[in-house]
Amino acid sequence: MRKYELHDYSDEAAEPVVTHIDVSSDTAARARAGRLAKNNGGPVDLAYAGPGGRASWPQRYITTAGQSEHHASGYYFERLES
C-alpha cells in the first residue's frame, strides 16, 4: 500500500479539502481522484503523500482530475505545470 494525497477544489472555500488515502497503485489512486472529481464537480489534484511533508509539491504531484461530459468514465486527467 502507498499513501496518496488528494486536494479537492470542488468546494467554494479558498483552500482545498485535503484527504490522505492508502491504495495499492497509482492506477487505483487516479481512479479514486477521477471519481471524486466526477461526483463533486471540481478538479482534484493527486500527489504522493510526502514523508513528513519534506518533499516539495512539484516533486510529489502526479496529475489533476477533472469532470468531463465527453469521456465515458465521466472524468479526465491532465498534468498541470507550474
* 19-67 confidence digits (pLDDT tens): 999 999 999 999 999 999 999 888 999 999 977 657 888 889 999 999 8
Cell of 29: 489512486
Are 2 and 24 in contact, with CB atoms under 8 Å apart?
yes
The SS3 assignment for 38 reads helix
Chain position carrying cell 463533486? 40
pLDDT, average across residues 61-78: 87
Q: Is 17 a residue whose pLDDT tops 70?
A: yes
Q: What is the number of residues in the chain? A: 82
Helix (H) or strand (E) holding 28: helix 26-40
pLDDT for residue 44: 94
Give the confidence band of 7 by pLDDT, cuts at 50, 70, 90: very high
pTM: 0.85
